[in-house]
Structure 1
Amino acid sequence: MIGEKNFVHIRDGLFDTCPPYNFTFNDPRILEKLGDGEVKNCTKIEFLTIFENGRLRINQNFPNYKDFSCAGRCAFFYKNYENRVGEWCETLQKNCTYECDVIEVNCMRDGKLEYIFAHSQIFEYNRDRKQVFGSLYRETSSPKVKADRFHPDVHIMLIDSMGLFSVLRQMPETVRFLREELDAVIFEQYTRTAPNSRDNMFAGMFGEIPIDVDRRLYEAKNLPKTLQGDTCEKPVDDKNFIQFEYEDAGYKTMYAQDNYLVTFGYLQCLGVINQIATHYMRPFQLIEMINNDVWSNKPIGNRSFENDNLLEKYLRNSSLCQDPYNHALDYTAKFYNSYKDKPKMSIMWSSLAHHDELPARQADRHFVDFFLEHKEKLDESFFIFMSDHGQRFNAIADTEQGLYEMNNAAMFFLVSEKVTLQPSSNFSETKHQHIEKTFGTSWLREMPPNMSRGCRNLPISSQYCTCNYGTTLLKEHDKVWDRIHWILDDDMNAYLKEGGLEKVCEKMKVMKLTEIYKMSSMGSSSFYRVLFESVTGGIFVVQYELTKDDVLRPSPREWKRVNAYGTAADCLHSKYAEYKPMCYCS
């Protein structure tokens, strides 16, 4: 959690509260722009191989099963983009054992590879994180679990790039179940704090301020980032990741995802180089990955993608309910049912809607089925269903509502029933204590009485704020139009030059300004939100400040891209992620 010292305890008028916008998730104009997502039914079948009770066998109900010879082997985490594998073991050998979470299967017919599959389990064991991490280990201050205390499970599900409105539109059954069956609290103006997934999770899961926080619009003090040092070319295993704290306290941990990129590493950033949790699904992903998953030209380890057709026939066949998120849900379910007498903490990160929110409609039913199956466990747990930010490049990203949705991440929070119904006064009274659906800086503690609720009082840069403080659309003949148009090119190119990229990226040039809004402010400066298009087709949003000394400058210095840039910036190393939206490789 961000420390109390980073908040401002003041009440000063305009920015004391957080007025909501009047946008609606089901606005017909928005729905028309987004289009309809087709929901296709899928059918679950029994595959050629079955894994149960730690044993792999051939399914005798599979057509022509006698024609196949199959072998399995363990796949272990080795590197973020490379597995360590065990020896192949023929399924007919009764002594085959698999002391691992992920089992890779190959089956031959007439000497030809005809079937590739992967099974998963939770192989229970004890690990010493200090021994595994070696010199990168940093002890956390987590108190150890005690046998005589209640230690609820803690589970997080994160849907990448799905803002609150996207979840409401595309996953209505999931929302209904979370609200009505699990009594989850919705944080309607939950806000991202950084431009991309990696930085937002350094805030949410490492407790860091990942970027400099510019709050000049609110007449509040700017905050420097707390995330120091190189977090790309150096591993982050020694940072204070939330699951490290739980594991050090005595929890068993699990991390599952369904994206070919590792969350904190991307392609060229190292991220966490050791196995991030007690149980990690990464080896499964590296087996199931196909070329269509990859949206970068950079190589993925030693992957050749020569067997994609076999993977798409079985392990990656959507019509058979074999999408990557199905596998992540399955692995997560197995973890929920493991370690009967140990507290557990899990994170499942799904990128099923990373480029488009519509596929989430297909997944809606599968998530509800998961919640139905595990409702009893979830009722006894702390459970968070969330996103990191909204859609950044969809059909509405350059609209007023789209810009808002980009910042308005989803957050549903469920408190364990054992906590919400706990009696007060150290259990000496029988009257139940009601826990408010708090608006405080901590969700489990009372908000300070002099704490204002608004972006001014939190480590949130003004460009991400979801509070509606009001704007005024400027007419094109306003002198600010000309001034901003003249300096935009120089400001963007100066920014690229500061990053040492002036010879790598083409010079930026504005084709046209689309809209300029004057933003409400209280101080001596005026602030403007500018939407413009570059000659290379990029659509951007940036904020400018006009000071009392008549100095016009970007505030903050972030040019937010609102349409996709694909592989245009593939020449850049991942450590230059902040520059990629505005770079066109020379």
Structure 2
Amino acid sequence: MRELYRHEDYIPCSNLAPLSYIVKENNGHTVILKINRSLTSQYTLFKVHCCYSKVTRLVTLKRPDDSISFSKCIPFEDSVEIVDPIIKVTCKDSFSFEIYSNVHASISPIHIPYSDIKTSKMTAKVKTTFSILFIGMDSMSKLNLIRTMPKTFNFLEKNSINLKGYTKVGLNTLPNLMGILTGLTIDQLKKWCDYQNKINDCPNIWNQFKEMGYITAYGEDSSDIGSFNYAKKGFSKPPTDFYFRPYFLASETLKIIQRERMYYCTGPETEGERIMNLVKDFQITLKNYSKFALFWMNSFTHDDLNIPSAMDEKMENFLIDIYKHLDNTILFFFSDHGFRFNDITKRQTGWLEEKMPIFYVSFPDSFKKIHPKAYYNFQINSGRLTSSYDIYMTLQNILRLADRSYSLKKSLACAKCHSLFRKVSERRSCQDAGISKDYCVCNITQTYEEPQEITKEPAKFLLDEINKLVRSYRQRYKCHVYKLDRITLFEKCDFKNEYKQTRTNLLLRIQTQPKAVFEALLEIVPNKHNSSDFRLLGDIIRMNRYSMYSSCIQDSSLEKYCYCKEQKPKTISDKIKEFLFD
């Protein structure tokens, strides 16, 4: 692994300190936008004129979650009181040359619906009420946190409980997030709602927290690959009291600096630090309210194995700061899965860690005093096999602590999953935890150099399954039919099933024409003819980057498998990406 790791330095987005900033008074009810006049001489020798615009979310039928508008820019001098949650600041010199621009989100109680304020204040007085704060980093495995963010790792190890056996339940971000938020698999979610077009109709546990009087928030950077937006319509109306997608859409109209294909800087701030600042603002400004918040970072973890090292010190300092303001808050610091692409996935270590994301939980002292047994059991469970469905059940348990009349609902994806305030069995299986066989790391495979005639049959089966899957979609006519190029991985694992019969699983990876790399777990099933059939266990996973080859598809499910017949002309940048990462 050493040859894959390189340290990356933190790069500031500007050599100058930001010219504009927000100040709050009257317990956050008064929000003041200020210009730091002491810095203007660093930007220009001429007089500086500044104005601010209101940022408004625009809803359209086709893309209800992707548009914003800016109001007319209102001039101000040194400071001005603002009431809008998102504003853009623009400053020009005497020759009308723009010297500075930035976007600010202000969190204030004045932006909470009145009914929620009333209920939340009542809820906050209940001693058994605990706020919930989820902070997520995309594609961060347990091992890559140690490699790239050792300072962050050491802080979390000292101040949180590490769920060492936490394992992913789905391919990418959405199924792993929805496991926590709904207790459902993606296939089950499809039966509840049209999550690609009408995700507001989907169940989400933050709605139960909201009904119980919690103030809710959701924010995610890198708006182009948002968990609920990538190849989907997103939310037709704000899903939470504080919804920060318009803030990031506005920030991404500023000067952008990319780093490894991701938006690193938007204006004078990094996207990651914008999330960190929102978390602090939310936690400090609304300290007297019961809260449920989910904040998610893609910008420095999603597309490169090593860029997280550039943000290690920033993240450590952020955690040191936020821990001072957790009060009655339970903090979940987590990820969806490990790194899914590039050379690391070709190694046994990469295969293993892709399935085991980080998951840390920190409890306030008040929880430990009021619920010592629950806290003790959670500590015990840190060494047990766990999944997102257990977290879903734990969140319901927290709701029940706040209101004894709340009725716990079983996770439909995992009947045996339960709150981690109860002990998890040492003998728990992946099936017990709702983890499918293709994501289970309990049965480690061994690599075999098998004769071609032995490997060809399962490879042909897998190829047929891929083409059959593509044919099942309405837009199939846009996609190539795959042909087998070569087998790149063949591993076997013998195990005993529930009937004590010896069975064999195959971990198979093939490369096709046109070029795509797929991986799947197969089971060898004996038949009546003294030969063997194959059965697909779980998802077929596309191992190479595919967005540039499947851009003709608007369906996020088909996109993972399609290779478009009509390809866009490749730019120089595309050719470099193809050479380096495909």
1:294 and 1:272 map into 2 onto residues whose CA distance is: 28
1:120 and 1:126 map into 2 onto residues whose CA distance is: 11
**Are 2:218 and 2:244, in contact at CA under 8 Å, matched by a contact in 1?**
yes
Q: What secondary structure does 1:333 align onto?
A: helix
**For the structure 1 residues 347 and 423, does the alpha-carbon distance in structure 2 shift closer, same or farther, using more than 3 Å as the test?**
closer
**RCO higher in structure (CA 8 A, sep ≥6):** 1
> Which amino acid is the alignment partner of residue 281 of structure 1?
F
Unaligned runs of 5+ in 1: 1-29, 132-141, 212-224, 297-307, 426-431
1:337 and 1:505 map into 2 onto residues whose CA distance is: 50
Instruction: Find 1:333's aligned residue among 277, 280, 296.
Output: 280
Q: Percent identity?
A: 17
Following TM superposition, by how much is the alpha carbon of 1:442 offset from its aligned partner in structure 2, in angstroms? 3.9
Q: What secondary structure does 1:493 align onto?
A: helix
Matched, 1:194 2:170: yes
2:361 and 2:215 map into 1 onto residues whose CA distance is: 21
**Are 1:209 and 1:459, in contact at CA under 8 Å, matched by a contact in 2?**
no
Following TM superposition, by how much is the alpha carbon of 1:376 offset from its aligned partner in structure 2, in angstroms? 2.7
Q: Which residue of 1 aligns with 2:8?
A: 38
Matched, 1:400 2:348: yes
1:262 and 1:564 map into 2 onto residues whose CA distance is: 14
1:584 and 1:477 map into 2 onto residues whose CA distance is: 33
Instruction: Find 1:553's aligned residue among 531, 534, 554.
Output: 534
**Are 1:71 and 1:106, in contact at CA under 8 Å, matched by a contact in 2?**
yes
> Which amino acid is the alignment partner of residue 507 of structure 1?
V
1:266 and 1:160 map into 2 onto residues whose CA distance is: 15
Q: Which residue of 2 aligns with 1:108?
A: 92
**For the structure 1 residues 230 and 336, does the alpha-carbon distance in structure 2 shift closer, same or farther, using more than 3 Å as the test?**
closer
Instruction: Find 2:20's aligned residue among 49, 60, 69.
Output: 49
Q: What secondary structure does 1:357 align onto?
A: coil
> Which amino acid is the alignment partner of residue 251 of structure 2?
E
Following TM superposition, by how much is the alpha carbon of 1:506 offset from its aligned partner in structure 2, in angstroms? 1.0
Q: How does 1:440-455 map to 2 (within 5 A)?
A: 441-447=417-423, 452-455=427-430
TM-score computed with the length of structure 2 as normaliser: 0.78
Q: How does 1:149-164 map to 2 (within 5 A)?
A: 149-164=127-142
Q: Which residue of 2 aligns with 1:19?
A: none
**Are 1:253 and 1:278, in contact at CA under 8 Å, matched by a contact in 2?**
yes
Structure 1, residues 307-336: CA drift from partner, whole Å, max 9, x if none? x9xx96xx534xxxx210111111111111
Q: How does 1:65-144 map to 2 (within 5 A)?
A: 66-79=46-59, 80-92=65-77, 96-109=80-93, 110-125=95-110, 127-128=112-113
Q: Which residue of 2 aligns with 1:138?
A: none
Matched, 1:532 2:503: no
> Which amino acid is the alignment partner of residue 445 of structure 2?
T
Q: What secondary structure does 1:544 align onto?
A: strand
Structure with the largest fraction of helix:
2
**Are 1:58 and 1:65, in contact at CA under 8 Å, matched by a contact in 2?**
no
**For the structure 1 residues 539 and 361, does the alpha-carbon distance in structure 2 shift closer, same or farther, using more than 3 Å as the test?**
same
2:18 and 2:45 map into 1 onto residues whose CA distance is: 10
Following TM superposition, by how much is the alpha carbon of 1:471 offset from its aligned partner in structure 2, in angstroms? 2.5
1:496 and 1:293 map into 2 onto residues whose CA distance is: 33
Matched, 1:171 2:143: no
Structure 1, residues 382-431: CA drift from partner, whole Å, max 9, x if none? 11110001111132112221111111111111122211123779xxxxxx
Instruction: Find 2:359's aligned residue among 399, 411, 425.
Output: 411
Following TM superposition, by how much is the alpha carbon of 1:243 offset from its aligned partner in structure 2, in angstroms? 2.1
Following TM superposition, by how much is the alpha carbon of 1:527 offset from its aligned partner in structure 2, in angstroms? 2.0
Following TM superposition, by how much is the alpha carbon of 1:146 offset from its aligned partner in structure 2, in angstroms? 6.2
> Which amino acid is the alignment partner of residue 328 of structure 1?
I
Q: Which residue of 1 aligns with 2:449?
A: 475
Matched, 1:263 2:226: yes
Instruction: Find 2:308's aligned residue among 360, 366, 372.
Output: 360
2:339 and 2:351 map into 1 onto residues whose CA distance is: 9
> Which amino acid is the alignment partner of residue 400 of structure 1?
Q
**For the structure 1 residues 261 and 40, does the alpha-carbon distance in structure 2 shift closer, same or farther, using more than 3 Å as the test?**
closer
**Are 1:295 and 1:566, in contact at CA under 8 Å, matched by a contact in 2?**
no
1:280 and 1:513 map into 2 onto residues whose CA distance is: 46
1:114 and 1:284 map into 2 onto residues whose CA distance is: 21
> Which amino acid is the alignment partner of residue 246 of structure 2?
P
Structure 1, residues 420-451: CA drift from partner, whole Å, max 9, x if none? 123779xxxxxx978643247445432376x8
**For the structure 1 residues 44 and 391, does the alpha-carbon distance in structure 2 shift closer, same or farther, using more than 3 Å as the test?**
same
Following TM superposition, by how much is the alpha carbon of 1:112 offset from its aligned partner in structure 2, in angstroms? 3.4
Structure 1, residues 146-189: CA drift from partner, whole Å, max 9, x if none? 63433222111100111111112111111111121x2x111122
1:327 and 1:535 map into 2 onto residues whose CA distance is: 42
Matched, 1:485 2:470: no
Deviates further, 334-343 or 474-483: 474-483
**Are 1:48 and 1:65, in contact at CA under 8 Å, matched by a contact in 2?**
no
1:88 and 1:532 map into 2 onto residues whose CA distance is: 56
Unaligned runs of 5+ in 2: 25-30, 60-64, 387-416, 567-582
2:131 and 2:105 map into 1 onto residues whose CA distance is: 22
2:51 and 2:207 map into 1 onto residues whose CA distance is: 35
Structure 1, residues 549-579: CA drift from partner, whole Å, max 9, x if none? 1453341363212222241000011x34354
**Are 2:53 and 2:73, in contact at CA under 8 Å, matched by a contact in 1?**
yes
Structure 1, residues 205-249: CA drift from partner, whole Å, max 9, x if none? 2221214xxxxxxxxxxxxx3541553443121322232222221
Following TM superposition, by how much is the alpha carbon of 1:503 offset from its aligned partner in structure 2, in angstroms? 1.9
**Are 2:463 and 2:483, in contact at CA under 8 Å, matched by a contact in 1?**
yes
> Which amino acid is the alignment partner of residue 193 of structure 1?
V
Structure with the largest fraction of strand:
2
2:559 and 2:535 map into 1 onto residues whose CA distance is: 15
Following TM superposition, by how much is the alpha carbon of 1:265 offset from its aligned partner in structure 2, in angstroms? 3.0
2:429 and 2:451 map into 1 onto residues whose CA distance is: 33
**Are 2:101 and 2:267, in contact at CA under 8 Å, matched by a contact in 1?**
no
**Are 1:55 and 1:98, in contact at CA under 8 Å, matched by a contact in 2?**
yes
Matched, 1:421 2:392: no
Q: What secondary structure does 2:477 align onto?
A: coil
Q: Which residue of 2 aligns with 1:437?
A: 380
Q: Which residue of 2 aligns with 1:137?
A: none
Q: How does 1:291-330 map to 2 (within 5 A)?
A: 315-317=266-268, 322-330=269-277
1:516 and 1:433 map into 2 onto residues whose CA distance is: 43
Q: Which residue of 2 aligns with 1:241?
A: 204
Deviates further, 287-296 or 43-52: 287-296
1:486 and 1:209 map into 2 onto residues whose CA distance is: 28
Q: What secondary structure does 2:560 align onto?
A: helix
Following TM superposition, by how much is the alpha carbon of 1:484 offset from its aligned partner in structure 2, in angstroms? 2.0
